[in-house]
Amino acid sequence: MSNDPHPVDAAASTEPAPMTGSVPRPKSTGLAKGDPVPGVPKVDPIMVIDNVTRRFGGLTAVDVEHLEIPRNAITALIGPNGAGKTTLFNLLCGFDKPNTGAWSYDGQNLAGIPAFKVARMGQVRTFQLTKALSLLTVLENMKLGAGGQKGERFWQSFLPATWRGQESANEEKARGLLARFKLDAKEKDFAASLSGGQRKLLEMARALMSDPNLVMLDEPMAGVNPALTQSLLDHILDLKDLGVTVLFVEHDMHMVRHIADWVVVMAEGRVVAEGPPATVMEDKAVIDAYLGSHQDVDLGVVTGRVSGELDTSAIALLEEIEADEAAAIADAEEEKK
Ligand SMILES: Nc1ncnc2c1ncn2[C@@H]1O[C@H](COP(=O)(O)OP(=O)(O)OP(=O)(O)O)[C@@H](O)[C@H]1O
Ligand SMILES: [Mg+2]
């Protein structure tokens, strides 16, 4: 694992890296120094959180004693509704202020640093409810994600020659990312016209415009059509291949099981368990207490990422996905006429 904050430059180039498709990728292991208990130190943490609390009136929404996020790995933050996951995300990104506590990113103290500066340091996030600007086109939304734009400075804005080159490089990069996320055909459409799933993809693509080192995704799968599920999973795995660290909140346990290298379980504001998915998710107490019992359909089998027998509920889900796809194709053909 690397200490280099810019381990791989592929995300920074205007040429998007080729999609690695559904090639199964090994999980990162050996991330922690010791047994997987809450607060266990990591071998190479990108973020270290200490005694962070956030209270709303009498309610303590977040109360995290110690948590380290491993670098260049995919960490899932799970837990029941109201566990404090989004509130913790907001604190870590500078969107909200804690009552107590400190945390650092890449060894730099982040407490009290506003969100736009946090983003400039290479840490970006997406939202549980998508924040695409509806009345801008898809391409314009993408261009907003680029950092250090010269044309935004007052005097330089009058001198197009000073920013035109950068503008076209940004546009090229945006188009490359849109192609990777299969949104290129929509670049001139208003973001308002996209489906919920496409907006999630746009948010993720836009986050990549700033060449981040840490991407935080709040429920990337929520509201996404099952037909887009596989590509979303692949995009997240691709990020790791590019040397990016991913921290994501998700209720879809199949996704967590298949892509996460490390899982942190929150309940009532606290970290109650953490460890590799196989350990944490097999912990019956965690499953019963926090995840409910709807774990019968294995998404990895359905999407072909992992081999295995399709049980009846998996077959039903697969049929549903195929029907959705057929309907989407029929719609597209109808529109063409
Ligand atoms: N701005 C706020 N004012 C008051 N209470 C809040 C505020 N934001 C969050 N809360 C409360 O804090 C607790 C944690 O909420 P949070 O949204 O962080 O949970 P979550 O784990 O993200 O849940 P979900 O899985 O439903 O998204 C909840 O009880 C919520 O009602
Ligand atoms: Mg939430």
In this structure, is residue 5 part of a structural domain?
Answer: no
Residue of 85, 88, 126, 266 to test ligand 1 pocket, by largest number of atoms within 8 Å of CB: 85
Nearest protein CA to atom 25 of ligand 1, as residue: 81
Nearest protein CA to atom 6 of ligand 1, as residue: 56
In this structure, is residue 148 part of a structural domain?
Answer: no
Q: How many domains does the chain have?
A: 1
Rounded CA-CA distance 216/232 in Å is 14
Query: How many angstroms separate the Cα of 221 from the Cα of each of 134, 228, 233, 329?
Result: 20, 9, 9, 22
pLDDT for the residue 169: 80
6-33: pLDDT as tens digits: 333 333 333 343 444 456 678 999 999 9
Rounded CA-CA distance 175/185 in Å is 10
The Å distance, Cα 218 to ligand 2 centre, comes to 7
Ligand nearest to the CA of 84: 1
In this structure, is residue 217 part of a structural domain?
Answer: yes
In this structure, is residue 332 part of a structural domain?
Answer: no
Residues with a beta carbon under 5 angstroms from ion ligand 2? 86, 128
Q: Is the full-model pTM beyond 0.95? A: no
Higher-pLDDT residue of 337 and 180 is 180
206-210-211 Cα angle (round to 5): 110
- The residue type found at 97 is K
The Å distance, Cα 336 to ligand 2 centre, comes to 39
76-129: pLDDT as tens digits: 999 888 899 999 999 998 889 999 999 999 999 988 888 888 888 888 887 776
pLDDT band at 62 (very low <50, low <70, confident <90, very high): very high
In this structure, is residue 311 part of a structural domain?
Answer: no
The Å distance, Cα 159 to ligand 1 centre, comes to 46
143-200: pLDDT as tens digits: 887 765 555 555 555 556 655 666 778 899 999 999 988 889 999 998 888 888 888 8
Nearest protein CA to atom 8 of ligand 1, as residue: 87
Ligand nearest to the CA of 55: 1
Residue in 118, 109, 117 with CA at minimum distance from that of residue 89: 118
In this structure, is residue 150 part of a structural domain?
Answer: no
- The residue type found at 227 is A
In this structure, is residue 74 part of a structural domain?
Answer: yes
Rounded CA-CA distance 80/84 in Å is 9
In this structure, is residue 185 part of a structural domain?
Answer: no
Ligand nearest to the CA of 264: 1
pLDDT for the residue 67: 98
With a Cβ cut-off of 6 Å, ligand 1 is lined by: 56, 59, 61, 79, 81-87, 128
- Structural domain boundaries, residue 249: 10-132+194-293
CATH at residue 248: 3.40.50.300
For residues 195-218, average pLDDT: 88
Nearest protein CA to atom 4 of ligand 1, as residue: 56
